[in-house]
Amino acid sequence: MIGELFIIFIGVVLVNNFVLVKFLGLCPYIGVSRDLKSATGMGIAVIFVMTIASAATWFIYQYFLAPGPANIWFAIFGDGINYSAFNFTYLRTIAFILVIAALVQLVEMIITKTSPSLYRALGIYLPLITTNCAVLGVAVLNIDTFFKGGEAVTWSLLKSLTQGFGAGVGFTLALVLMASIRERLELADIPPALKGAPIAFLVGALMSMAFLGFTGLI
């Protein structure tokens, strides 16, 4: 079991990194990677949101959306009715976005109170976690991977938490590496035409190629 969780974790951090391999969450990856402090703060916020969102969306899918014996609506209204009548999986995207939005609002309130300077540095990219496709992507991937036929596989919740946390760590790793390189590039003699976003995209492409080398790891 521990070995399986380790494989899931390494898989989303290196082999299937959400930013550099799946190309999700590129907006904050480019926008917040100008300095290391902002990148680290954003990374920690995304780890928190991805991990908690993985747990929250698992419970919502298991007990409110999936057509199975654990469905709360079936327990209340399902006397003599088939499970399939309580299949609300088509609502998962809307439900997941609402959960993520609530979590981002919580993170925004915490950062505002604890570190106003970090809040100002993150700017618009903090509330944009709500629409960060990487956060929604890990929630959807958890359901697609750890639910079979509408029912959770063995240790599904723990696997979802591991994958959510690992995806956040992978996102933070990509963000911190990018910020470190861009800080060094500020001191380099770069042609004017490549300064700013162009050199950032080139660096991102090279990092993506480098991470593809982990494909044969597991």
pLDDT for residue 162: 92
Q: How does pLDDT run across 118-143, given as a tens digit for each residue? A: 777 666 667 777 767 888 888 888 88
pLDDT for residue 84: 66
The token duo for 204 is 């991102």
Q: How does pLDDT run across 151-162, given as a tens digit for each residue? A: 778 888 899 999
Beta bridge partners of 148: 151
The segments of the chain whose pLDDT lies below 50 read none
The token duo for 49 is 């949101």
Provide the whole-model pTM. 0.83
pLDDT for residue 181: 86
Number of domains in the chain: 1
From the number of C-beta atoms within 10 Å of its C-beta (0-12, 13-18, 19+), residue 173 rates as middle
* Domain coverage including residue 186: 2-216
